[in-house]
Structure 1
Amino acid sequence: MAAASFVGLQAVFEMGCGNGCNRVTENNYCSSNDQEQQFLQRLPVRTKLDKRGIDLHSVRCPLCDDDIESSEHTLIFCRRAQEIWSRVYKWWNLGNFSSFSISELLRDNNMQIGSSVSSKIWQAVVWFTSYLIWKNHNNKVFRDKCWSAPVALNEIQILTFDWISRRVKGYKIDWNVWLSNPDSYL
């Protein structure tokens, strides 16, 4: 696997202060701004590679070719990313997708989050969605393949359900409810 192919899933969830604050049930999380900055700084997007002197054919987004590839564009503003986020928002009954940063996604104002566990569930959805958007981006760059938004949503649903079911102690999630009404867990 190429070193720049994608940020590993474990790294996405363990980006904190380095003190083991990656467990959902712990209260010693880094702020979402810290997590967002660490996550965005790790992505080897074309603008960063170009600044390092790596000769690239183009610094434009390989998925949409609408703009220069930056971390924010790849994860949020790219048409392909927005298709996926729109489906995630629809799945969670949040209305239209209209966020401008990972931090904004993590603290989505459309949500009425009742507990820290509920907040962590939504954060897991945001991080997995970001990870899978990045993975989809790399499938296009390195394999010339892209997922459709429905396939990406299915992966997000499966991976978040599995991760939350295994990591959130004493919190039972029903698969059918997770698919049809995940916001009921908030």
Structure 2
Amino acid sequence: MYIVQVAETECPLCRSSSETVDHLFLHCSWSWEVWSGCMQWWGVNSCPNNLIKDWIEGWNGLCPSMNRKGVWNILFFTVVWTIWEARNDLVFKAKEANISLSMDWVKFRVAWWFKTHGCGSEDALTLLLLDIKERCVDKDHKNKSRSGVWDPPVDDELLFNVDGAAKGNPGMSGVGGVLRDARGRILCLFSLFLGFRDSNSAEILAIHKACQLIASKPSLADRTVTLKLLLHGPRGSNSFADSLAKAGSRRQGDRIEWGDL
């Protein structure tokens, strides 16, 4: 077992200040980047309180909508737990504290909590990298516009939504995709960093990567798989792949995950 050697009172995540409860969970630059990123899912910007107890007490007041209080409160404790886990993994396992990966874990844990406690829809686990504020909320979505709803494939077919994104044209780019069956189960997802490219190249490479992944699995050889790439207009039903591609453009380490085929 490897143990990171740091000064007894030094914060292992930023190594720039003494490790106290208030610093670790609130003022550490690494931890605050996780907080800021999660709050931005709701379009919320804030400055940290001096004390973590004040941050807890004022958290509800930052929620932008009453019907999102449930998931907002869960988010708070999920971020705290994820920061603590990242800190311990670094100290006791020498495991790199990766901000983008930690934020992915936050989304997964929020979705899992909702599914476990019966507060979310049956496909709650597909929130792994979805826009939580639009999907995991305390209200009925019967009136939600169909333009933002994922359309499942028919019968035994599979649908691979893919997308490419570039921050600028050209700029730092990434690709993403998610393979799902007719029930909405995630069979594969990827989020990869490409480097400096234009958006058109990124979209072509997203299709190429999806084809590579399909070809790598013999169990998919006899399945009908449709590739879907939205070239123009609002992302709508392709929003999951879009979010994976955008995450890829700033990702530190590629992400490819397979579900049960």
Contact 1:92 1:183 in 2 (8 A): no
Q: 1:177 to 1:92 in 2, by over 3 A?
A: farther
Specify the alignment match of 2:28 in structure 1. 78
What's the offset of the Cα at 1:135?
0.6
- Whether the aligned pair in 1 keeps the contact of 2:82 and 2:102 (CA below 8 Å) is yes
TM-score normalised to the size of structure 1?
Answer: 0.58
How far apart, in 1, do the equivalents of 2:64 and 2:117 lie?
A: 22
Q: Which residue of structure 2 aligns with residue 18 of structure 1?
A: none
2:117 partner letter: R
Q: 2: distance between equivalents of 1:121 and 1:131? A: 15
May I ask how many residue pairs the two structures share in their alignment? 128
Q: Deviations over 1:11-60 (max 9, x none)?
A: xxxxxxxxxxxxxxxxxxxxxxxxxxxxxxxxxxxxxxxxxxxxx95212
Match of 1:154 in 2: 104
- How do residues 40-119 of structure 1 correspond to structure 2 at under 5 angstroms? 57-100=7-50, 101=52, 103-105=54-56, 107-114=59-66, 118-119=68-69
Aligned to 1:126: 76
Which of 1 and 2 has greater Rg? Answer: 2
Q: Deviations over 1:99-140 (max 9, x none)?
A: 44255246343323425xx42321211111100100101111
Bigger relative contact order, structure 1 or 2 (CA pairs below 8 A, ≥6 apart): 1
Q: TM-score, normalised by structure 2?
A: 0.43
Task: Give percent identity, aligned residues only.
Answer: 16
> Which residue identity does 1:114 align to in structure 2?
M
Which is richer in helix? 1
1:66 partner amino acid: S
Structure 2 distance, partners of 1:178, 1:143, is: 26
Cα distance in 1 for partners of 2:13, 2:64 equals 33
CA RMSD of aligned residues (A): 2.8
Shift of 1:64: 1.5
User: What is the 5 A alignment of 1:24-35?
Assistant: none
How many angstroms apart in 1 are the aligned matches of 2:134 and 2:60?
Answer: 13
Corresponding position: 1:167 with 2:122: no
Equivalent pair of 1:87/1:149 in contact (CA under 8 Å) = no
> Which structure carries more strand by proportion?
2
**Long gaps (5+) in structure 2:** 1-5, 139-261
Deviation at 1:152, TM superposition (A): 0.5
Distance 1:79 1:137, change over 3 A: same
Q: Secondary structure at the match of 1:179?
A: coil
Per-residue CA distance 1:65-94 (angstroms, 9 max, x = gap):
222111111111111101111111112221
Cα distance, 1:125–1:72 mapped onto 2, change above 3 Å: same
